[in-house]
């Protein structure tokens, strides 16, 4: 439901599909601005557990993308 990302903003999205250009323009910077948080959290849990940092980064990045799509 990409249209939820534009709630409360002046958005002219048509929301015809999840890859609408206007929605992507708003979503991409939001994801890029928060990638450092995913990296910090993944590093923390990699040090605390036996899980690999790369695996945690992958899961964290996917979670961030999914969260931005809500």
- Tens-place pLDDT, residues 28-53: 888 999 999 999 999 999 999 999 99
Distance CA 59, CA 40 (A): 13
Structure tokens at 59: 């899961």
Q: What are phi and psi of 60, to 5 degrees?
A: -65, -40
Strands (E), the chain: none
**Is the CB of residue 65 less than 8 Å from the CB of residue 23?**
no
**Dihedral angle, C-alpha 22, 37, 59, 47, nearest 10 °:** 170
Q: What is this structure's pTM?
A: 0.67
Q: Higher-confidence residue: 18 or 70?
A: 70
């Amino acid at each position: 439901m990409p249209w939820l990302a534009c709630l409360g903003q002046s958005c002219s999205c048509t929301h015809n599909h999840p890859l609408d250009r206007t929605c992507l323009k708003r979503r991409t910077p939001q994801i890029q601005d928060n990638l450092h948080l995913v990296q910090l959290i993944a590093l923390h849990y990699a040090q605390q557990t036996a899980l690999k940092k790369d695996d945690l980064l992958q899961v964290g990045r996917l979670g961030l993308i999914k969260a931005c799509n809500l």
